[in-house]
Amino acid sequence: MSPADRPRLLACLAIVYVVWGSSYLATRIGVSHLPPLLFGGIRFLCAGLLLTGLALWRGFRPAELAGELTHVAVLGVVGVACVNGLQVWALQFLPSQTGALLNASCAFWIVAFGLFGRRAHRPPARVLAGVVIGFAGTALLIYPAGAAAAPAALVPQLAVLLACVFWALATIYLRNSHSRLDVISLTGVQMLIGGVLMLLGGWLRGEAAAWHWSLPGALSLAWLTLFSACLAYTAYAWLARHAPPAVVGTYGYVNPLIAAVLGYLVLGEQLGALQRVGSGVILAGVLLINWPTKDTIKGL
């Protein structure tokens, strides 16, 4: 990565941090008004159509998918349908803060899976220390909710954790793939695949009968489609291809902080004293991981 790419790196990280940090609140509101899989399916189908249309306008041709179908299928099924299907289902039962905090585990899995593959990257000791510190803070954030959780809450929590594993696998697969598609084309096509699969899943679950438009649901759907899906996914796809896994995974630390603040301000979700301490510890881990040294971009 050249010095000229650093502003783009920082811009993409900022987009992923802020937009995806707010997506937990938007999803929690959305699934409170609309059936989860249809809600997620429409989001990604619309986003996929928008991005693919933009790609076609920029010169993309469907013939370019020859030899790329395995990549887009894996990313569409694993990275979109499995991840977001589990997430939207679980957020029917979990506070947006809890869902965001559980997603912090993505950072661990991304670094762990990043040790393997064509572009395997062994992070320096400083980055590993940042991961450990970040997860110590995450444990402080999650512990109060986990200690008070009823047994019935374990299934949604496990669903979110499984989604994190799928997301990390898709991230490392994208990093190690030989895809020749540009970021917009690749992201648009995989969203089309994932959106169709989620719509099919929602239809098979009988969600169509429960679909009733509402203003909060429509606004959440619009925000998640335009900003979370189109803008942030494109930024994340660029990061997955160009940034080290440990740096990519830092969004899993920052997003819970943003989600916790928004959950408190909008939905009245509480953040206890121990969780506030955990937030500070997480920020320390993020700073350690992202401290600008040559090690941060080693292996690119």
Quote the CA–CA distance of 154 and 74 in Å, as a whole number: 28
Q: How many domains does the chain have?
A: 1
Tokens found for residue 227: 């900003």
Q: 142 pLDDT band (50/70/90 cuts)? A: low
Q: Are 19 and 234 in contact (CB under 8 A)?
A: no
* pLDDT given for residue 298 in this prediction: 46
Nearest residue to 149 (alpha-carbon basis) of 184, 102, 114, 215: 102
Domain of residue 169 covers 3-297
DSSP 132-180: HHHHHHHHHHHHHHHHH--GGGHHHHHHHHHHHHHHHHHHHHHHH----
pLDDT > 70: percent of the chain: 84
Q: Which of 157, 32, 151 is nearest to 94 (CA)?
A: 157
**Cβ 61 vs Cβ 181: under 8 Å:** no
How many angstroms separate the Cα of 75 from the Cα of each of 70, 166, 190? 9, 10, 6
**pLDDT for residue 154 is more than 60:** yes
Sorting pLDDT into bands at 50, 70 and 90, what band is 295?
A: very low
Distance between CA atoms of 69 and 139, rounded to whole angstroms?
Answer: 39
pLDDT at 184: 86
Separation CA 181–CA 209 (nearest Å): 38
**In terms of Cα–Cα distance, which of 82, 50, 55 is closest to 197?**
82
Question: What's the confidence (pLDDT) of residue 32?
Answer: 92
What tokens were used for 145? 């909710």
Residue 300's pLDDT band (cuts 50, 70, 90) = very low
pLDDT at 145: 54
Instruction: Using the predicted structure, report yes or no on whether residue 246 has a pLDDT greater than 90.
Output: no
* pLDDT score for 82: 95
Instruction: Report d(CA 202, CA 208) in Å as an integer.
Output: 7
Backbone region of residue 67 per phi and psi (left: phi > 0; alpha: psi in -120 to 50; beta: other values): left
- Give Cα 186 to chain centroid, integer Å: 16
The rounded mean pLDDT for the chain is 82
Spatial separation of the C-alpha atoms in residues 229 and 242, rounded to whole Å: 19
Question: Greater confidence, 259 or 126?
Answer: 259
pTM of the predicted model as reported, rounded to 2 decimal places: 0.80
**29-55: b or e for each residue (b if 16 or more CB lie within 10 Å)?**
bbbebbbbbbbbbbbbbbbbebbbeeb
Tell me the pLDDT tens digit for each residue of 15-59: 999 998 999 999 999 999 999 999 999 999 999 999 999 999 988
254's tokens: 């920052």
- d(CA 215, CA 217) in angstroms, rounded, equals 5
C-alpha–C-alpha distance, residues 197 and 288, integer Å: 39
CA-to-CA distance for 134 and 156, rounded, in angstroms?
23
Contact 109, 247 (CB under 8 A): no
**Whole-angstrom distance, CA of residue 13 vs CA of residue 239:** 8
Q: What is the pLDDT of residue 219?
A: 95
Instruction: State the distance between the two ends of the chain, measured CA to CA, in whole angstroms.
Output: 7
